[in-house]
Amino acid sequence: MSLHLIIGDKLYSSWSLRAALALDLTGEPYTEELIKLNQPDTRERLLKHSPTGKVPLLKTEHGTIADSLAIAEYLAEQFPDAGLWPKDTAARAQARSACAQMHSGFFAMRGNMPFDLSHDAPLSPTPPEVQAEIQCMLALWAECRAVATETGPFLFGGATLADAFFAPIAVRLRTYQVKLPEADAAYVETIYQWPAFKAWRKAGLEEIER
Protein backbone atom coordinates (compact mmCIF):
# COMPACT_ATOMS: atom_id res chain seq x y z
CA MET A 1 0.00 0.00 0.00
CA SER A 2 1.22 3.49 -0.86
CA LEU A 3 1.12 5.83 2.14
CA HIS A 4 2.21 9.47 1.93
CA LEU A 5 2.03 11.62 5.07
CA ILE A 6 1.90 15.40 4.83
CA ILE A 7 2.93 17.15 8.04
CA GLY A 8 3.83 20.53 9.49
CA ASP A 9 7.02 21.52 11.33
CA LYS A 10 8.12 18.68 13.60
CA LEU A 11 9.16 21.24 16.19
CA TYR A 12 5.64 22.63 16.55
CA SER A 13 3.01 20.34 15.00
CA SER A 14 1.56 18.09 17.69
CA TRP A 15 -1.20 16.83 15.37
CA SER A 16 1.38 15.74 12.81
CA LEU A 17 3.30 13.89 15.53
CA ARG A 18 0.23 11.83 16.36
CA ALA A 19 -0.21 10.69 12.77
CA ALA A 20 3.48 9.85 12.39
CA LEU A 21 3.51 7.73 15.54
CA ALA A 22 0.34 5.97 14.39
CA LEU A 23 2.00 5.15 11.09
CA ASP A 24 5.08 3.85 12.88
CA LEU A 25 2.88 1.47 14.86
CA THR A 26 1.76 -0.21 11.63
CA GLY A 27 5.33 -1.06 10.68
CA GLU A 28 4.51 -0.15 7.08
CA PRO A 29 6.79 2.01 4.93
CA TYR A 30 5.57 5.48 4.03
CA THR A 31 6.83 8.69 2.52
CA GLU A 32 6.72 12.06 4.23
CA GLU A 33 6.32 15.62 3.05
CA LEU A 34 6.85 18.58 5.38
CA ILE A 35 5.08 21.86 4.68
CA LYS A 36 6.34 24.65 6.92
CA LEU A 37 3.56 26.31 8.87
CA ASN A 38 2.90 30.05 9.22
CA GLN A 39 4.53 30.89 5.91
CA PRO A 40 3.00 33.13 3.20
CA ASP A 41 2.42 30.12 0.96
CA THR A 42 1.47 27.56 3.64
CA ARG A 43 -2.28 27.55 3.05
CA GLU A 44 -1.88 27.57 -0.73
CA ARG A 45 0.40 24.55 -0.57
CA LEU A 46 -1.91 22.66 1.77
CA LEU A 47 -5.00 23.40 -0.31
CA LYS A 48 -3.35 21.59 -3.21
CA HIS A 49 -3.71 18.41 -1.15
CA SER A 50 -6.95 18.94 0.78
CA PRO A 51 -9.71 21.54 1.21
CA THR A 52 -9.12 21.48 4.98
CA GLY A 53 -5.90 23.43 4.59
CA LYS A 54 -4.58 21.68 7.69
CA VAL A 55 -2.10 18.97 8.67
CA PRO A 56 -1.76 16.08 9.00
CA LEU A 57 -2.98 14.57 5.77
CA LEU A 58 -2.52 10.97 4.71
CA LYS A 59 -2.64 10.15 1.02
CA THR A 60 -3.69 6.56 0.36
CA GLU A 61 -5.04 4.43 -2.46
CA HIS A 62 -8.47 5.16 -0.97
CA GLY A 63 -8.06 8.93 -1.11
CA THR A 64 -6.68 11.68 1.10
CA ILE A 65 -7.54 11.37 4.78
CA ALA A 66 -7.55 14.50 6.93
CA ASP A 67 -7.45 14.70 10.73
CA SER A 68 -5.26 12.64 13.05
CA LEU A 69 -8.15 10.65 14.56
CA ALA A 70 -9.49 9.67 11.14
CA ILE A 71 -5.98 8.69 10.08
CA ALA A 72 -5.58 6.57 13.21
CA GLU A 73 -8.86 4.72 12.63
CA TYR A 74 -8.04 4.16 8.98
CA LEU A 75 -4.67 2.64 9.84
CA ALA A 76 -6.18 0.42 12.54
CA GLU A 77 -8.71 -0.85 10.00
CA GLN A 78 -6.20 -1.43 7.23
CA PHE A 79 -3.61 -3.12 9.45
CA PRO A 80 -5.62 -5.14 12.00
CA ASP A 81 -2.70 -7.41 12.87
CA ALA A 82 -0.49 -4.48 13.90
CA GLY A 83 -2.31 -4.07 17.23
CA LEU A 84 -2.89 -0.33 17.04
CA TRP A 85 -5.75 -0.69 19.53
CA PRO A 86 -5.59 -2.98 22.60
CA LYS A 87 -6.89 -6.49 21.98
CA ASP A 88 -9.07 -6.62 25.10
CA THR A 89 -12.56 -5.19 24.50
CA ALA A 90 -12.71 -3.09 27.68
CA ALA A 91 -9.18 -1.79 27.18
CA ARG A 92 -9.89 -1.00 23.53
CA ALA A 93 -13.04 0.90 24.48
CA GLN A 94 -11.13 2.92 27.07
CA ALA A 95 -8.35 3.63 24.58
CA ARG A 96 -10.83 4.96 22.03
CA SER A 97 -12.56 7.03 24.70
CA ALA A 98 -9.25 8.50 25.87
CA CYS A 99 -8.20 9.42 22.35
CA ALA A 100 -11.55 11.07 21.64
CA GLN A 101 -11.33 13.09 24.85
CA MET A 102 -7.82 14.22 23.95
CA HIS A 103 -8.88 15.04 20.42
CA SER A 104 -11.78 17.27 21.42
CA GLY A 105 -10.74 18.73 24.77
CA PHE A 106 -8.01 20.07 27.06
CA PHE A 107 -8.07 23.50 25.46
CA ALA A 108 -6.59 25.29 28.47
CA MET A 109 -3.44 23.17 28.28
CA ARG A 110 -3.19 23.65 24.55
CA GLY A 111 -3.71 27.40 24.75
CA ASN A 112 -1.38 28.07 27.65
CA MET A 113 1.23 25.40 26.91
CA PRO A 114 1.89 25.55 23.15
CA PHE A 115 3.63 22.48 21.72
CA ASP A 116 7.30 23.30 21.19
CA LEU A 117 9.93 20.59 21.49
CA SER A 118 12.60 23.19 22.31
CA HIS A 119 10.71 24.86 25.17
CA ASP A 120 12.18 24.43 28.65
CA ALA A 121 10.57 26.66 31.28
CA PRO A 122 7.61 26.35 33.65
CA LEU A 123 4.42 28.34 33.48
CA SER A 124 4.56 31.07 36.08
CA PRO A 125 2.00 31.19 37.45
CA THR A 126 0.04 28.16 36.29
CA PRO A 127 -3.56 29.22 35.56
CA PRO A 128 -6.07 27.29 37.67
CA GLU A 129 -7.86 26.01 34.56
CA VAL A 130 -4.58 24.53 33.32
CA GLN A 131 -3.88 22.88 36.67
CA ALA A 132 -7.40 21.41 36.65
CA GLU A 133 -6.87 19.96 33.18
CA ILE A 134 -3.50 18.48 34.17
CA GLN A 135 -5.22 16.65 37.02
CA CYS A 136 -7.96 15.46 34.64
CA MET A 137 -5.26 14.23 32.26
CA LEU A 138 -3.47 12.26 34.96
CA ALA A 139 -6.79 10.75 36.04
CA LEU A 140 -7.47 9.72 32.46
CA TRP A 141 -4.08 8.04 32.23
CA ALA A 142 -4.82 6.19 35.47
CA GLU A 143 -8.11 4.96 34.01
CA CYS A 144 -6.24 3.59 31.03
CA ARG A 145 -3.67 1.78 33.16
CA ALA A 146 -6.44 0.36 35.35
CA VAL A 147 -8.04 -1.60 32.50
CA ALA A 148 -4.82 -2.65 30.77
CA THR A 149 -4.53 -6.41 30.40
CA GLU A 150 -0.97 -6.44 29.08
CA THR A 151 2.23 -5.57 30.90
CA GLY A 152 4.55 -2.86 29.70
CA PRO A 153 5.45 0.80 30.26
CA PHE A 154 2.83 2.32 27.94
CA LEU A 155 -0.74 3.14 28.94
CA PHE A 156 -2.07 -0.27 27.88
CA GLY A 157 1.17 -2.22 28.20
CA GLY A 158 2.57 -2.07 24.69
CA ALA A 159 2.43 1.03 22.52
CA THR A 160 -0.97 1.80 20.99
CA LEU A 161 -2.76 4.68 19.34
CA ALA A 162 -3.51 6.04 22.80
CA ASP A 163 0.20 6.69 23.30
CA ALA A 164 0.42 8.33 19.90
CA PHE A 165 -2.34 10.72 20.93
CA PHE A 166 -0.90 11.49 24.36
CA ALA A 167 2.72 11.93 23.24
CA PRO A 168 2.18 15.70 22.68
CA ILE A 169 0.85 15.98 26.24
CA ALA A 170 3.95 14.21 27.53
CA VAL A 171 5.99 16.83 25.68
CA ARG A 172 4.02 19.67 27.23
CA LEU A 173 4.37 18.24 30.73
CA ARG A 174 8.12 17.87 30.35
CA THR A 175 8.93 21.07 28.49
CA TYR A 176 6.85 23.13 30.93
CA GLN A 177 8.51 21.30 33.84
CA VAL A 178 5.31 20.07 35.47
CA LYS A 179 5.98 18.05 38.63
CA LEU A 180 4.32 14.66 38.30
CA PRO A 181 3.59 11.61 40.45
CA GLU A 182 6.08 8.79 39.95
CA ALA A 183 3.87 6.69 37.67
CA ASP A 184 3.12 9.62 35.37
CA ALA A 185 6.73 10.80 35.28
CA ALA A 186 7.72 7.26 34.28
CA TYR A 187 5.14 7.31 31.48
CA VAL A 188 6.48 10.61 30.14
CA GLU A 189 9.95 9.08 30.14
CA THR A 190 8.58 6.06 28.26
CA ILE A 191 7.31 8.38 25.53
CA TYR A 192 10.67 10.13 25.37
CA GLN A 193 12.44 6.77 24.98
CA TRP A 194 10.04 5.54 22.27
CA PRO A 195 12.30 5.18 19.20
CA ALA A 196 9.72 6.71 16.85
CA PHE A 197 9.31 9.72 19.12
CA LYS A 198 13.05 10.08 19.63
CA ALA A 199 13.56 10.25 15.85
CA TRP A 200 10.78 12.84 15.51
CA ARG A 201 12.17 14.96 18.36
CA LYS A 202 15.69 14.85 16.94
CA ALA A 203 14.44 16.00 13.55
CA GLY A 204 12.31 18.70 15.19
CA LEU A 205 15.19 20.16 17.16
CA GLU A 206 17.33 20.13 14.02
CA GLU A 207 14.79 22.41 12.37
CA ILE A 208 15.99 25.21 14.64
CA GLU A 209 19.43 25.13 13.04
CA ARG A 210 18.14 25.43 9.46
Per cent of the chain over pLDDT 70 is 100
What pLDDT was estimated at residue 57? 96
Q: What integer pLDDT is reported at residue 143 of this predicted model?
A: 97
Burial class of 44 by CB neighbour count within 10 A (0 to 12, 13 to 18, 19+): exposed
**What is the reported pLDDT for 147?**
97
pLDDT attached to residue 48: 87
Residue range 169-196: mean pLDDT, rounded: 98
Residues 6+ apart with CB under 8 A from 162: 95, 98, 99, 144, 154, 155, 156
How confident is the model at residue 49, as a pLDDT?
A: 86
Is the pLDDT assigned to residue 196 strictly greater than 90? yes
Average confidence (pLDDT) over 45-72:
92
DSSP string, 82-145: G-SS-SSHHHHHHHHHHHHHHHH--HHHHHHS---TT-----SSPPHHHHHHHHHHHHHHHHHH
- Structure confidence at residue 3 (pLDDT): 98
Rounded CA separation 130/148 (Å):
27
Q: Mind listing the pLDDT tens digit for each residue in 70-122?
A: 999 999 999 999 999 999 999 999 999 999 999 999 999 999 999 999 999 99
**What tens digit of pLDDT does each residue of 114-161 get?**
999 999 999 999 999 999 999 999 999 999 999 999 999 999 999 999
Quick one: pLDDT at residue 1?
Answer: 74
pLDDT band at 50 (very low <50, low <70, confident <90, very high): confident
